[in-house]
């Protein structure tokens, strides 16, 4: 899940970035509102974590500009002020959730994942194709109930595909969700990850199809039992 963290406290931003990346999120961080506003105009994110007290441009203004141009990415406001009037201001400006500091990191991660599922129209946390299943809360793939351990990049590719199973996902879109601004996945590397996943998924009842000109799609294998 590609996430943008907008937080001007360097110590807190570093701590959050470390924990969120450890939780499997692809993360970009910015420390001021103007930079955030510019980034949100050109990049696509699954969820945004927004502090209200930002230099350059306040968090409420960043949020108002997003909604004014039709950007519907879920936004979780993270701020030291938990007073009801500030919560109301943020929610009225278009925020989807609100978490005052101090907070529990596990709760933050759970809320972010819930926002991501809600945006995709997926209320549940468990996905299944053939005998392959994915628990998006535990971030665990299983085949017939047995855990399937995957390297980070392959896990990310398969997570994107299974949460959109039956739908084509372009290489460009997949690369954008896998990478932060400081990282990159080449088309050749992406093809390699897909090749390796196909081998790992043999006998799972799930397969990755290549759709010429469209990208990839995860679907039940032809030989999967009815």
Q: Do 142 and 194 share a domain, yes or no? A: yes
Q: Do 158 and 80 share a domain, yes or no? A: no
Is 10 contained in some domain? yes
- What's the pLDDT score for residue 121? 64
- For residue 45, what are the contacts with CB-CB under 8 A and spacing of at least 6? 2, 3, 4, 28, 73
Q: Do 23 and 112 share a domain, yes or no? A: yes
Quote the domain boundaries for residue 47. 2-119
Q: Do 7 and 114 share a domain, yes or no? A: yes
Q: In sequence order, what E strands does the chain have?
A: 2-6, 26-30, 47-50, 75-79, 97-100, 126-129, 132-135, 140-143, 146-148, 206-211, 215-220
Q: Is the pLDDT of residue 28 over 60?
A: yes
Report pTM: 0.74
Q: How far is CA 5 from the centre of its chain?
A: 12
Q: Do 9 and 95 share a domain, yes or no? A: yes
Mean per-residue pLDDT, 162-182: 86
Q: Do 114 and 136 share a domain, yes or no? A: no
Mean pLDDT computed over every residue of the chain: 88
Q: Do 113 and 9 share a domain, yes or no? A: yes
Distance CA 111, CA 94 (A): 16
Is 225 contained in some domain? no
Burial of 30: CB neighbours in 10 Å, binned 0-12, 13-18, 19+? buried
Last residue of a domain, one of 119, 153, 188: 119
Q: Do 23 and 78 share a domain, yes or no? A: yes
Q: Do 16 and 113 share a domain, yes or no? A: yes
174, 160 in Cβ contact below 8 A?
Answer: yes
Is 226 contained in some domain? no
Using alpha carbons, select from 34, 3, 32 the residue that is nearest to residue 181: 3
Structure tokens at 173: 């879109």
Structure tokens at 193: 């990850």
Last residue of a domain, one of 101, 119, 137: 119
Mean per-residue pLDDT, 26-55: 93
Q: Is the pLDDT of residue 45 over 80?
A: yes
Is 141 contained in some domain? yes
Give the residue carrying structure tokens 């809320």: 111
Using alpha carbons, select from 100, 65, 66, 68 the residue that is nearest to residue 85: 100
């Amino acid at each position: 899940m590609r996430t943008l963290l907008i937080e001007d406290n360097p110590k807190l931003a570093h701590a959050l970035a470390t924990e969120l990346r450890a939780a499997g999120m692809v993360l970009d961080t910015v420390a001021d509102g103007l930079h955030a506003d510019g980034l949100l105009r050109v990049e696509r994110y699954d969820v945004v974590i927004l502090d209200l007290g930002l230099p350059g441009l306040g968090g409420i203004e960043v949020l108002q500009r997003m909604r004014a141009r039709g950007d519907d990415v879920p936004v979780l406001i993270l701020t030291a002020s938990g007073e009801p009037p500030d919560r109301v201001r943020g929610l009225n400006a278009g925020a989807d959730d609100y978490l005052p500091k101090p907070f529990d990191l596990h709760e933050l991660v759970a809320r972010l994942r819930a926002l991501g599922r809600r945006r995709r129209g997926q209320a549940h946390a468990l996905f299944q194709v053939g005998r392959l299943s994915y628990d998006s809360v535990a971030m665990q793939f299983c085949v017939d109930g047995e855990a399937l351990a995957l390297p980070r990049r392959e896990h990310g590719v398969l997570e994107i595909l299974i949460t959109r199973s039956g739908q084509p996902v372009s290489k460009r879109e997949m690369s954008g969700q896998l990478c932060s601004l400081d990282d990159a996945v080449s088309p050749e590397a992406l093809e390699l990850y897909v090749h390796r996943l196909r081998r790992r998924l043999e006998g799972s009842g799930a397969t990755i199809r290549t759709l010429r000109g469209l990208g990839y799609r995860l679907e039940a294998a032809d030989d999967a039992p009815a």
